[in-house]
């Protein structure tokens, strides 16, 4: 809501003018002053010998920038969208300027400062002449980039580069650059796009960080005030409001861990900058230490090799990304007692070039690392923690067996229709997987590197997830406006040595239908490995068709049921809500009480044992139909289908077993160890499942409070 625009515009220009005239007053500010500080540079010079990883990172940065220095500098007129040529050049330029600035500060070699200066002048030359970016795909266009967001990211980096070479520049050069580049850019980001700047959204965080960081460099308190308290400094926007509202009380970001990673970077960077410049604000303690809590949560929402959980729109990203190096370094710098963070730092194998990175590298070198422990945890969603949750159950074994149930709110525009869906991990592999997003990030020939059409038509749809679909229709009929109003009810969560459980219930995804899922990760000495017990009850006033998919990863080894395979002709599973993207490869039924499907992943076998009715249809499907551009991954899927029922309780056991050892040429237990499964009791908040093993032993699991 913009009111009194003309007054504000005047105020902004007034501030600008005062600042511009009074620049010499700021000349005695110490520089650098952002993530890397003057004090930090001293420390680095005196003690980097004791921090080999820091030196290695400096060396790498130097090697990179040395190559850049041999090539002609390019500052092209903006033309291309994400992944395109000018887009990539402007991205590379901000990294190059930042590298040059940092390497200048650490080595003192002026050729690096000279490079950054030259490029800053080139941008200062071009920027005033730019209109909006010619690509009109975004509501929030930038000038250098097709998205305003990228413009902010550019400034977050370039403000640091400028900070590093500030003292190297003459006053006249600084004036010139600030007048032609940074002030117009701040005006564009903060005033012209005030709704994005003031929005409580991760795009807003980048905007305030950008304006705040260049504000600190230029010593402009008006800009830093806007950044912290909102454009009108009324707390209706700005960094502090974002810290209050963007994460749940447990530190979960509603879009999911893939975007939490991205959202964290401006929080972490800007918080460190605020801490360095206004320590009295105690920014890291703000809102119950929210920023550090959110960093902690992010590293927990990963597979043991560092892959971020595929939930909502998520791609292949690990803790190796730059933003998570920043997050880890800053978090450790603020909490140097958390020695387990060094375990991740060791795997990241690089640090940021600041005091924080120096500290990480020094302590790594001192051998202070402790093993990083992934924990069983409940993460509530919503600013008040009332919008459902993600339950992460971890067996705590060396194979890192884990199960995740997601029953959060929709998750904004990157959310999926995936209420109560589960995933399962074991032995450093994804066993029951969420598809994540359909996108080839930055690969131009794939829709310009953007989300692909199949992200909407398949990846977001309910049938792409390991949860129930009623009548071949996605939750909330795939309508985000409705979906974002609701989240499932949290029922219970318990963490004991032997069993970890979680339960939740949804009554909104399909009006008139109650879906209740209770899961348990059971570690029992009678079991070869921990197993996942999954009790999914659906009840409705009317009769429906139910589909419960399991996207299993691996090569199908055997089934205990007969099926008809579609071996020479193939058809799709349906026509809409993602069904059109599934090929039916086979369909079977069984008179046995439980169907069992076994597959091989890595060197271990996995069986899904499912209680079935004689009429339950057992589909073996594969992703890939209606995909003319070959955009989808052709993963297989096991789907249980029941027709014409008003109630059904699905009991599934996901069980790792045996070993396939091609090196030593032996195989153990390629068939399930389970003889039978019994549901002894089932109410809203409690189920009791009894698993009888082929050894004759039984394992009982109480899944409830």
Q: Which residues are catalytic?
A: 259, 414
Residue 583 touches a second copy, criterion: CB under 8 A: yes
Q: Contact region for a second copy (CB under 8 A) — 28-36, 200-208, 263-271, 630-638?
A: 630-638
- With CB under 8 A as the contact rule, the residue among 384, 496, 571, 644 that binds a second copy is 571
Closest contact distance (angstroms) between CB of 81 and a second copy is 13
* Subset of residues 331 to 390 that bind a second copy, contact rule: CB under 8 A: none
Q: CA nearest 178: which of 225, 230, 124?
A: 124
Closest contact distance (angstroms) between CB of 631 and a second copy is 9
- With CB under 8 A as the contact rule, the residue among 525, 591, 666, 696 that binds a second copy is 666
Q: Contact region for a second copy (CB under 8 A) — 104-112, 235-243, 456-464, 618-626?
A: 618-626
Q: What string of DSSP letters covers 134-161? A: S----SS--SSSSSHHHHHHHHHHHHHH
- With CB under 8 A as the contact rule, the residue among 383, 586, 679, 688 that binds a second copy is 586
Asked if the bond preceding 447 is cis, omega within 30° of 0, the reply is: no
Q: Contact region for a second copy (CB under 8 A) — 101-109, 127-135, 172-180, 569-577?
A: 569-577
What are 622's strand-pairing partners? 583, 636
Residue 569 touches a second copy, criterion: CB under 8 A: yes
Write the CA distances from 504 to 378, 431, 535, 644, integer angstroms. 12, 22, 11, 25
Q: Which residue, 479 or 667, is less far from a second copy as judged by CB?
A: 667
Q: Contact region for a second copy (CB under 8 A) — 142-150, 538-546, 565-573, 689-697?
A: 565-573
Residue 21 touches a second copy, criterion: CB under 8 A: no
Q: CA nearest 319: which of 328, 333, 306?
A: 306
Write the CA distances from 12 to 105, 179, 183, 206, integer angstroms. 33, 14, 10, 20
Closest contact distance (angstroms) between CB of 315 and a second copy is 7
* Subset of residues 542 to 561 that bind a second copy, contact rule: CB under 8 A: 555-558
Closest contact distance (angstroms) between CB of 670 and a second copy is 5
Residue 56 touches a second copy, criterion: CB under 8 A: no
Q: What is the rounded CA–CA span in Å between residue 105 and residue 33? A: 12
Q: What is the rounded CA–CA span in Å between residue 278 and residue 281? A: 6
Residue 141 touches a second copy, criterion: CB under 8 A: no
Q: What is the rounded CA–CA span in Å between residue 315 and residue 438? A: 8
- With CB under 8 A as the contact rule, the residue among 213, 308, 625, 653 that binds a second copy is 625
Are 318 and 307 spatial neighbours (Cβ–Cβ below 8 Å)? Answer: yes
Q: What is the rounded CA–CA span in Å between residue 599 and residue 251? A: 36
Q: Which residue, 310 or 476, is less far from a second copy as judged by CB?
A: 310
Q: What string of DSSP letters covers 336-405? A: TT-TTHHHHHHHHT---SSHHHHHHHHHHHTT---------EEEE-STTS-SEEEEEEE--STT--EEEE
How many residues line the site for a second copy (CB under 8 A)?
54
Site string (307-326) toward a second copy, x via CB under 8 A: --------xxxx-xxx----
- With CB under 8 A as the contact rule, the residue among 60, 278, 667, 698 that binds a second copy is 667
CA 306 to mean position of chain CA atoms: 12
Q: Contact region for a second copy (CB under 8 A) — 127-135, 296-304, 519-527, 657-665?
A: 657-665
Q: What is the rounded CA–CA span in Å between residue 682 and residue 704? A: 10
Chain length of the chain: 705
Binding footprint of a second copy on the chain (CB under 8 A): 83, 88, 91-92, 315-318, 320-322, 440-446, 449, 555-558, 565, 567-572, 580, 583, 585-586, 598, 600, 620, 622, 625-628, 630, 633-634, 660, 662-667, 670-671
């Amino acid at each position: 809501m913009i009111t009194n625009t003309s007054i504000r515009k005047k105020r902004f220009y007034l501030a600008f003018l005062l600042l511009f005239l009074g620049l010499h007053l700021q000349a005695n500010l110490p520089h650098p002053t952002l993530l890397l500080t003057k004090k930090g540079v001293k420390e680095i010079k005196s003690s980097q010998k004791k921090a080999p990883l820091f030196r290695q990172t400096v060396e790498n940065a130097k090697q990179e920038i040395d190559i850049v220095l041999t090539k002609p500098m390019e500052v092209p007129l903006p033309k291309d969208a994400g992944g395109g040529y000018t887009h990539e050049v402007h991205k590379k330029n901000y990294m190059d300027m930042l590298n040059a600035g940092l390497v200048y500060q650490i080595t003192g070699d002026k050729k690096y400062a000279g490079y950054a200066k030259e490029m800053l002048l080139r941008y200062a030359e071009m920027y005033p002449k730019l209109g909006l970016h010619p690509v009109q795909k975004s509501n929030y266009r930038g000038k250098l980039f097709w998205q305003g967001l990228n413009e902010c990211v550019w400034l977050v980096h370039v403000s640091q580069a400028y900070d590093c070479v500030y003292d190297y520049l003459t006053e006249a050069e600084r004036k010139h650059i600030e007048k032609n580049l940074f002030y117009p850019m701040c005006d564009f980001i903060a005033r012209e796009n005030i709704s994005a700047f003031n929005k409580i959204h991760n795009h807003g965080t980048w905007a305030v960080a950008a304006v705040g960081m260049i504000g600190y460099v230029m010593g402009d308190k008006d800009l830093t005030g806007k950044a912290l308290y909102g454009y009108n400094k009324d707390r209706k926007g700005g960094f502090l409001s974002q810290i209050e509202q963007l994460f749940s009380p447990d530190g979960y970001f509603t879009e999911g861990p893939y975007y939490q990673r991205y959202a964290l970077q401006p929080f972490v960077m800007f918080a460190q900058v605020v801490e360095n410049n206004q320590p009295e604000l105690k920014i890291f303690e703000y809102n119950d230490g929210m920023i550090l809590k959110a960093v902690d949560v992010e590293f927990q929402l990963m597979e043991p090799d560092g892959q971020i959980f595929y939930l909502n729109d998520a791609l292949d990203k690990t803790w190796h990304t730059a933003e998570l190096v920043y997050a880890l370094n800053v978090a450790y710098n603020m909490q140097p007692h958390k020695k387990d963070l060094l375990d991740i730092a060791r795997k990241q194998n690089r640090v940021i070039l600041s005091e924080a990175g120096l500290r990480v590298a020094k302590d790594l070198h001192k051998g202070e690392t402790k093993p990083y422990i992934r924990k069983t945890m409940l993460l509530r969603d919503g600013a008040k923690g009332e919008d459902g949750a993600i339950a992460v159950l971890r067996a705590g074994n060396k194979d890192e067996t884990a199960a995740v149930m997601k029953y959060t709110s929709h998750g904004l525009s990157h959310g999926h229709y995936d209420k109560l869906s589960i995933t399962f991990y074991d032995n450093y592999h994804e066993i029951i997987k969420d598809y994540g997003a359909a996108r080839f990030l930055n690969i131009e020939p794939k829709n310009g590197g953007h989300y692909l059409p199949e992200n909407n038509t398949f990846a977001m749809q309910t049938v792409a997830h390991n949860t129930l679909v009623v009548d071949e229709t996605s939750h909330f009929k795939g309508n985000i406006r409705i979906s974002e109003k609701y989240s499932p009810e949290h029922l219970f969560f318990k963490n004991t040595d032997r069993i970890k459980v979680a339960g939740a219930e949804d009554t909104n995804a399909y009006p008139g239908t109650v879906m209740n899922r209770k899961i348990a990760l059971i570690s029992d000495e009678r079991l070869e490995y921990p197993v996942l017990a999954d009790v999914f009850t659906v009840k409705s006033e009317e009769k429906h068709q139910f589909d419960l998919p399991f996207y299993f990863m691996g090569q199908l080894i055997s089934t205990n049921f007969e099926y008809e395979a579609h071996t020479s002709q193939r058809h799709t599973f349906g026509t809409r809500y993602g069904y059109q993207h599934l090929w039916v490869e086979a369909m079977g039924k069984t008179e046995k009480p439980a169907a069992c499907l076994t597959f091989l992943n890595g060197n271990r076998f996995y069986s899904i044992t499912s209680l079935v009715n004689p009429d339950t249809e057992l589909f073996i499907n594969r992703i890939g139909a209606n995909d003319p551009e070959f955009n989808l991954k052709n993963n297989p899927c096991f789907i249980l289908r029941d027709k014409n029922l008003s109630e059904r309780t699905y009991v599934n056991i996901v069980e790792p077993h045996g070993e396939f050892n091609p090196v030593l040429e032996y195989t153990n237990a390629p068939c399930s160890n389970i003889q039978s499964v019994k549901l002894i009791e089932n109410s809203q908040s409690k189920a009791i499942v009894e698993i009888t093993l082929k050894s004759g032993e039984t394992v009982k699991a109480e899944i409830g409070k």
